[in-house]
C-alpha cells in the first residue's frame, strides 16, 4: 500500500535499510526485509523515481540520497503540487459562488435538502429564523477570517435567541480574536452568558449548526459573503458534527491561558507547520490564521532554530520525521 509520501511499505523499508547499510546488496536487502529479489528491484525503481536513490557504486547499483536532502526535495515537489491544487480549488470555489449567486432566484426544492441564500443579508435572516426555533444546541465554527463588527452585530441577536430558548451553545473562533480589542467585549459576553467558546489558530470552514438538523455554510471570498448554503441532509450534517467535535477537542477555552509544555511545540507552531506542509505560502498562512506576515516569519525563524533546519523544505521533512506533524497533515 502506498503511503502519503508516495512510496509503498517495501520501498520505505528498502530506503531505510540502505541508509543504515549503504553497501548491502539486493539479496541481503531481500533477506532482511523478507521480500523477493523482484520486489526489491521494484522498490529500487520506485525510489529512483522519487529521487531517493541515485546510480552509484553500491552493491545494488544504487546509493541512497541522504534523508535530509532526499526527503526535503520530495517534500518540495509535493508542496509545489499542493500549491497548484490549492489555487485551482480557490478558483473553483469562487466560480461556484458566482454561479449560485447568478441562479439564486430559481425555485427552491430543486435539490432536495439544499437551499441557496443569495447575499449576506439573506444568510443572517435565515440563521436568525433557525435560532428562533432552536431547541437543544447551536454550534458555530468560524468565521475563517477576522471577526468583523458586521458579523458581531449580526451574531448577537442569534445568540440572544438561543439564550432565551435555554438551548446550549458552543463556538470555535480564530485564536487571533484574543488580541482583537474590538471583538473581545462581545466574546466575553458570549462566554459569560452562553459559555463554550474556544479558539484555534486556523479554521477550515465557516458553519452554523442548529439542533443538528440544519447547517448554514456562508460562501464567499476573503472580502465578503456572497451567499450561503442551508443543508438538512443527514449525512452532510453528521460530517459537520464530526468535524466540529474533532476541532473542539483540540481547541483551547477562550478564558484559559494558552499552555505550552517545555520541549513541545505550541498549538500555533503545529498549525503553521501543517499549513506549510499543505503548500501554503507565508502570505496565505498569515491570512488563514489572521496574523501578520511578520508573525509567520517569526514562527519560521523559531522553528528553524529549534529543528536546526537550513530551509523550509528541510524543516517540513524534519517535523514529519520527528512526529511534530503527521504525513496525513499534508492532505
Q: What is the CA radius of gyration of the chain?
A: 24
Q: What is the dihedral of CA 104, 107, 112, 113, to 10 degrees?
A: 50
What share of the chain has pLDDT > 70, as a percent?
75
Of 47-51, 177-181, 185-189, 213-217, give the range with the top mean pLDDT.
213-217
Q: Angle 149-164/120-132 helices, nearest 10 degrees? A: 20
**Per-residue pLDDT tens for 300-330?**
888 877 777 776 666 767 777 777 766 655 5
Q: What is the pTM of this model?
A: 0.56
pLDDT band at residue 101, thresholds of 50, 70 and 90? low
> What is the DSSP track for 228-283?
EEEE--HHHHHHHHHHHHHHHHHSEETTS-----TTS--HHHHHHHHHHHTT--HH
For residues 271-283, average pLDDT:
75
Q: What angle do CA 288, 96, 289 make, to 5 degrees?
A: 5
Model confidence at 21: pLDDT above 60: yes
Model confidence at 151: pLDDT above 50: yes
Model confidence at 96: pLDDT above 50: yes
At CB < 8 A and 24+ separation, what contacts does 122-128 make?
A: 122/227, 122/228, 123/216, 123/218, 123/225, 123/227, 123/228, 124/154, 124/158, 126/216, 126/228, 126/230, 127/154, 127/158, 127/208, 127/210, 127/216, 128/157, 128/158, 128/161
Q: Write down the pLDDT at residue 139.
A: 93
SS3 141: strand
For residues 73-77, average pLDDT:
66
Model confidence at 115: pLDDT above 90: no
Q: Write down the pLDDT at residue 180.
A: 83
Q: Write down the pLDDT at residue 105.
A: 47
Q: Write down the pLDDT at residue 70.
A: 65
* Pick from 96, 129, 100: nearest CA to 115: 100
The top-level CATH class assigned to 71-88+260-330 is: mainly alpha
Domain assignments of the chain as residue spans, ordered by start: 9-65, 71-88+260-330, 108-253
What share of the chain has pLDDT > 90, as a percent?
9
Q: Is the dihedral of CA 93, 97, 98, 100 positive or negative?
A: positive
CATH number of the 9-65 domain: 1.10.10.10
> What is the DSSP track for 291-308?
--HHHHHHHHHHHHHHHT
Higher pLDDT, residue 218 or 89:
218
Q: Take residue 102 and report the three cell numbers written for it.
A: 447568478
Which stretch of 87-96, 120-129, 192-201, 232-241 has the lowest confidence by average pLDDT? 87-96
Domain 9-65 and domain 71-88+260-330 have a common topology = yes
pLDDT band at residue 216, thresholds of 50, 70 and 90? very high
Give the total residue count for the chain: 331
CA atoms of 90 and 98, how far apart (whole Å): 12
* Pick from 51, 49, 60: nearest CA to 22: 60
For residues 19-33, average pLDDT:
85
Q: Take residue 145 and report the three cell numbers written for it.
A: 477570517
pLDDT band at residue 97, thresholds of 50, 70 and 90? low
H-run or E-run covering 320: helix 312-322
Average predicted confidence (pLDDT) for the chain:
78
Q: Write down the pLDDT at residue 188.
A: 87
Higher pLDDT, residue 301 or 109:
301
H-run or E-run covering 116: strand 114-118
* Pick from 145, 146, 144, 140: nearest CA to 159: 140
Q: Which fold has domain 108-253?
A: Endonuclease; Chain A (3.30.870)
H-run or E-run covering 215: strand 214-220
- Exposed, middle or buried by CB within 10 Å (0-12, 13-18, 19+), for 68? middle
**Per-residue pLDDT tens for 224-237?**
778 888 998 888 88
Amino acid at each position: 500500500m502506498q503511503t502519503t509520501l508516495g512510496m509503498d511499505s517495501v520501498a520505505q523499508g528498502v530506503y531505510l535499510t540502505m541508509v543504515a547499510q549503504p553497501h548491502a546488496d539486493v539479496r541481503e536487502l531481500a533477506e532482511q526485509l523478507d521480500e523477493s529479489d523482484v520486489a526489491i528491484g521494484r522498490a529500487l525503481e520506485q525510489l529512483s523515481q522519487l529521487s531517493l536513490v541515485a546510480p552509484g557504486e553500491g552493491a545494488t547499483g544504487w546509493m541512497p540520497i541522504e534523508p535530509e536532502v532526499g526527503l526535503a526535495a520530495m517534500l518540495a515537489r509535493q508542496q509545489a503540487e499542493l500549491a497548484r491544487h490549492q489555487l485551482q480549488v480557490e478558483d473553483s470555489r469562487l466560480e461556484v459562488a458566482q454561479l449560485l449567486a447568478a441562479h439564486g432566484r430559481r425555485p427552491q426544492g430543486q435539490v432536495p435538502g439544499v437551499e441557496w441564500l443569495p447575499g449576506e443579508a439573506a444568510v443572517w435572516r435565515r440563521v436568525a429564523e433557525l435560532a428562533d426555533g432552536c431547541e437543544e444546541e447551536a454550534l458555530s465554527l468560524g468565521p475563517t477570517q477576522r471577526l468583523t463588527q458586521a458579523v458581531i452585530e449580526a451574531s448577537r441577536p442569534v445568540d440572544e435567541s438561543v439564550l432565551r430558548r435555554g438551548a446550549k451553545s458552543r463556538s470555535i473562533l480564530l485564536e487571533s480574536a484574543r488580541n482583537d480589542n474590538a471583538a473581545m467585549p462581545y466574546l466575553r459576553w458570549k462566554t459569560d452568558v452562553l459559555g463554550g467558546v474556544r479558539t484555534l489558530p486556523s479554521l477550515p470552514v465557516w458553519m452554523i449548526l442548529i439542533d443538528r438538523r440544519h447547517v448554514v455554510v456562508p460562501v464567499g471570498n476573503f472580502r465578503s459573503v456572497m451567499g450561503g448554503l442551508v443543508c438538512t441532509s443527514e449525512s452532510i450534517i453528521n460530517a459537520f458534527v464530526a468535524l466540529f467535535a474533532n476541532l473542539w477537542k483540540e481547541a483551547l477555552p477562550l478564558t484559559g491561558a494558552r499552555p505550552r509544555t517545555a520541549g513541545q511545540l505550541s498549538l500555533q507552531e503545529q498549525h503553521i507547520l501543517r499549513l506549510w506542509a499543505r503548500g501554503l505560502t507565508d502570505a496565505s498562512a498569515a491570512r488563514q490564521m489572521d496574523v501578520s506576515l511578520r508573525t509567520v516569519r517569526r514562527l519560521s525563524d523559531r522553528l528553524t532554530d529549534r529543528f536546526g533546519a537550513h530551509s523550509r523544505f528541510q524543516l517540513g521533512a524534519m517535523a514529519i520525521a520527528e512526529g511534530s506533524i503527521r504525513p496525513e497533515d499534508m492532505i
